[in-house]
Amino acid sequence: MKVQINTDKNIEGSERLESYFSSEVSRVLSRFDDKVTRIEVHFGDENSAKSGFGDKRCVIEARPANMQPIAVTEHADSIEKAFNGALDKIKKVLNTTFDKQKAH
């Protein structure tokens, strides 16, 4: 499973940040290694220079093999909180998707 981290122009994407988020995605979603070909994480700041509640956005897109991509979005007041919320959501969605697939 390949992990790709993307940031918009308002969020500085350092190597340390990319390394941390990539390793967290790999750790949390490791059980889907053989079912998901790629995970893309997109970070954005919707208010740019202004601060505000819930202005940081994290979208995680999973690309399961032979299936349509699955995406979730989380808004929070920091990219870490948005990332953790989105990671929880994508894990639940993937669990549900593959459990349904097993049932058929």
Q: Both tokens of residue 30?
A: 């490791």
- Pick the residue with more confidence: 8 or 60? 60
* CATH code, 77: 3.30.160.100
Domain span at residue 54 reads 2-103
| Average pLDDT value for residue range 84-99 | 95
57: number of Cβ within 10 Å: 19
Residue with tokens 């639940």: 92
Coil, strand or helix: which one is 50? coil
How many domains, the chain?
A: 1
Q: Are 58 and 52 in contact (CB under 8 A)?
A: no
Single pTM value for the model: 0.89
pLDDT bucket at 104, cuts 50 / 70 / 90: low
Beta-bridged to residue 7, according to DSSP, are 43
